[in-house]
Each structure stands twice: as C-alpha cells, then as structure tokens.
Amino acid sequence: MRVIRLTAIVFGLAVTAVMCAAADGAAPAPGVDLGTRGVRDGSLRYLTLPLGRRTLVQAVQVRGGRVARFSSIPGSYGIPVIASDGSTAGLSWDGSTLVVASTRSGPNHSRFAVLDTLTLRARQTIELKGTWSFDALSPDARTLYLIQHVPTRNSNSSRYYVRAYDLAGSRLLKKIIFDTREKWGLMSGSPITRTTSKTGRWVYTLYTRPGGSPFVHALDASARRAVCIDLPWHGSQSRIFSARLKLAGGKLVVHRAHSRLAVIDTKTFRIST
C-alpha cells in the first residue's frame, strides 16, 4: 500500500490530500483519490478534498483551473479509484450523478454518498455492512454496481461478488451479477485498467488473477449482467500490469506498448490473438 500526500491551497487554507492505492493489487480495492486526479466529465473535473470533518467537493474547469462550483458534505469521502493504473470513476454517463466513497470504510462497514452534480450536494447516503468498493454506474444513474469483498486468509488474493444497488428504491438487490456460464458468482482477481463504451452501457475491466489467467470482465450496466473473457496466457502475469484496453470498430483490444495481446469481439466475445 502506498500513500501519496498532496498539499493544496483551497480558499486560503492549506489542505493535505491523501490518496491510498494498492501497490500490488493485494488490497481489497485500489482506494480513493483526494484532490489529485479526480474524475473528468467534458470540460469539468470533479475533485474532493478533506476539510475537517467534512469533504469539499469541487467542479473545476479543465482549462485554467477555475472553480465552477463547490459544496461541502459531512464525512470524509474521495473519488473512487477502480484500477491499479489509477483509473477513477463515479460519474454517470449523463453527467448528472457523482458517487463518492468514504475514506474511513473498514471491515465492518462501508459508506457511499450519491451527489447531484449541479448542486454537489448529497441526494442519499448508502451504508453497508462489510467491505465494499465502487464498481460502476448504469447510464441512467439508477443502478449502482458495487464490489463486495470476501475475507480470505491469503492477503495476496482478492475474492469478491459484483452486486447491484437500486438507487431509485434505495435497496441492495439480492441477485449477484456474474457470468451465467459459470457455476458460481464468487470471483477472484485485481483490476488493472478499464475502458467504457461511448454510451456508458458496457464497462470493460482487465483483471489479473493469481494462480489462473488474466481476464476481462464485461459488465452490461444497463441490463445488470456480465460476461467474463479469459485471456490466453502462459507464465508470469507481470506483463499484464502495463496492458491497457482500447475500443475500436466493434473490437476490444488488449494492448501493451505497440503490441496487441488479444482482440475481443464485443458482440460474440470471441478472442483472436
């Protein structure tokens, strides 16, 4: 686990922001971003900064850095980091909703705040028992996808379920989101990088899986379903940590530097190497 400290001047006050992230993917989740990278929506970037017992939320112009609007919410929250490459998330495709994760979540409880991006005020607060982390939002911002982490004796592995939370009904759905071709919904692995389709419907995440092979988790954020695509792989998975995902012409390309590791058809999910 690494801790990055950043000191910023906010309205004349010196604020120290901290970002926690897993150095090797062994932690339950990559962590949260506080005042460093934020999450971008067009010309705006949304940032969070600790402010005593509250969190300052800002919408900042990408060009020039002017603060377009700001607010503060009670508690300590950050922008979700969803992969080891530093990828952040939390914004709905339509830009109306921002989900932030508590920095003080522990093994007994986890907390999330759902914000209106126009006012940057909380619409609702979600508290769940156990260790949970943000995964994705549906394009219409009605479904929040969460990772429910399952405790293991091996600190170098991460086992989890993908769950759906109905934001409109304020309830956690019993159904586990998994590839129905598999026998069970419990998964293992650590997220490396992510890309999303232009409509926000499909969310593709590349995972490394100790003791197995790397795979791509394709989440249909509109239909609450998922497909897992195992990548053909031999030997050490160390090279996969520098891989990235790219969508082009109906294909999902897993590439590293200038070489293609795999090409996935986004309709059939068949792989060519």
pLDDT tens digits, one per residue of 89-148: 999 999 999 999 999 766 688 999 999 999 999 999 999 999 999 999 999 999 999 999
pTM of the predicted structure, to 2 decimals? 0.87
pLDDT tens digits along 40-88: 999 999 999 999 999 999 999 999 999 999 999 999 999 999 999 999 9
pLDDT tens digits along 176-187: 999 988 877 789
Q: What letters, b where the CB count within 10 A reaches 16 and e where it falls short, cover 240-252?
A: bbebbbebeeeeb
The pLDDT of residue 10: 44
CATH classification of the domain holding 163 = 2.130.10
Q: Which domain holds residue 65?
A: 2-272
State the total domains in the chain: 1
Q: CA of 22: how far to CAs of 52, 55, 63, in Å?
A: 25, 23, 30
Answer whether 147's CB lies under 8 Å from 132's CB. yes
